[in-house]
Structure 1
Amino acid sequence: MRSRLIAARAAMSPVERATAANALTASALTFVHGIGARTVACYVSLGSEPGTRALLDALRAEGTEVLLPVLLADNDLDWARYDGAELLAPARLGLLEPTGPRLGADAVCGADLVLLPGLAVDPTSGLRLGRGGGSYDRVLARLDAAAAPALLATLLFDSELVPDLPAEPHDRRVDAVLTPARTLTFPRDA
């Protein structure tokens, strides 16, 4: 399933991806404003992922603190503040990472909202399918242990809402999925 979803993303034209990125930025900003998030953990999109670069700049321009991941040697994630595209540097696996001071792996626990990459979300349950690398599984475990866990949302293309998404025991639900055309929210388990 992951291969099929990645291939569908790659088949999108640059114009389709740019149009989707603009609409997704608007959806994400509306969501951020609606929940009153002051600190947002996000990521720099790469390749055919739903675009986040305009969103990062818009959040920063509004005064929202934006945290970006820094991939560690063991594939865990450290975090650093986003201080503009000019302060991003190429890193391992083709990623772009902030060059500023590292804040530690637990810095994500201070975010109000964590925007997660993913490949699909079940539109009924909120179950998220990640890329399978495990980096965000560690982040999610940290957030589970936090006193006031952040809201979790995944940024996707509209076609990546997949009913009856197969799940493994470690796969997690999110609080929301944001696409260019829709925002779906899911109640947290009691």
Structure 2
Amino acid sequence: MSECTKAEWRARLRAARLLIDDAGRHLAAAGLASAGLAWLREMSGGMPATTICAYVSGRAEPPTAPLLGALAGAGHTVLVPVCEPGHQLSWTPWTPGVAMARSALAPVQEPVGPRYRFAELGAVHGLILPALAIDAAGVRLGQGGGYYDRFLAAVGEGAVPTAGVVYEAEAVPAGELPHDVLDRRVQYILTPGGYRPAAE
């Protein structure tokens, strides 16, 4: 395991993301849209209309707006998270042009609309999650709020296919990221260049 702490990893990764120029972000956005659609097709067995939980990216994150648009344009129902007290998540529908507002609990933008508990969503065919880095064993380094680790623990391992989104340079060898028993792994690594399963 890396001798660097989570805080040190986060600082380094955030700084590197700020160096990516607009052209690089544009290419990444297009790649993620294509890779995300392909991943969902595999996870759903090619079903034409599914329910997918994803997220609205922040400024320095790999851009997900084209991915969300591509998913909705293909006929899928797209939901994104809303932060709730106690580091919990609820889910609200995302459609192109939906009104957005800054969260009262986290430095993120969230759609304005009805909020649902995950158990109320019915069959969900995939979860696309943010990450700062993911190792080849599926260890995910998040922003540090703990929202997604709590959510994944409640959902249960393997209940829904999970993919963490990172730039290719943020997909690192197994054992490189610090982690503990509370950290939940993802099953797939999704980058602008494609997707691949994390090793067991």
Question: Is the CA contact (8 Å cut-off) linking 1:67 and 1:108 kept in structure 2?
Answer: no
- Aligned partner of 1:155: which letter? V
Q: 2:102 aligns with which of 90, 93, 117?
A: 90
Structure 1 residue 90 displacement after superposition = 2.8
* Secondary structure at 1:153 match in 2: strand
Question: Is the CA contact (8 Å cut-off) linking 1:109 and 1:149 kept in structure 2?
Answer: no
Q: Which has the higher helix share?
A: 1
Q: Within 5 A, what are the aligned runs for 1:112-123? A: 112-123=125-136
Measured against aligned partners, the alpha-carbon deviations of 1:25-55 in whole angstroms (never above 9, x if no partner) come to 1111111112226111111001110111111
Question: Is the CA contact (8 Å cut-off) linking 1:109 and 1:143 kept in structure 2?
Answer: no
Unaligned runs of 5+ in 2: 1-8
Poorly superposed stretches of 4+, deviation over 4 Å: none
RMSD across aligned C-alpha pairs, in angstroms? Answer: 1.9
TM-score by length of 1: 0.89
Unaligned runs of 5+ in 1: none
The 1-side partners of 2:195 and 2:135 are apart by 13
The 1-side partners of 2:39 and 2:98 are apart by 26
Structure 1 residue 105 displacement after superposition = 4.6
Q: Within 5 A, what are the aligned runs for 1:53-92? A: 53-92=65-104
Structure 1 residue 107 displacement after superposition = 4.0
- Aligned partner of 1:27: which letter? A
Structure 1 residue 17 displacement after superposition = 1.3
Asked if 1:161 corresponds to 2:171, the answer is: yes
Aligned match of 2:21: 13
**For this pair of structures, how many residues does the alignment match?**
185
The 2-side partners of 1:80 and 1:73 are apart by 16
- Aligned partner of 1:135: which letter? Y
Aligned match of 1:27: 35
Aligned match of 2:4: none
Question: Is the CA contact (8 Å cut-off) linking 2:98 and 2:112 kept in structure 1?
Answer: no
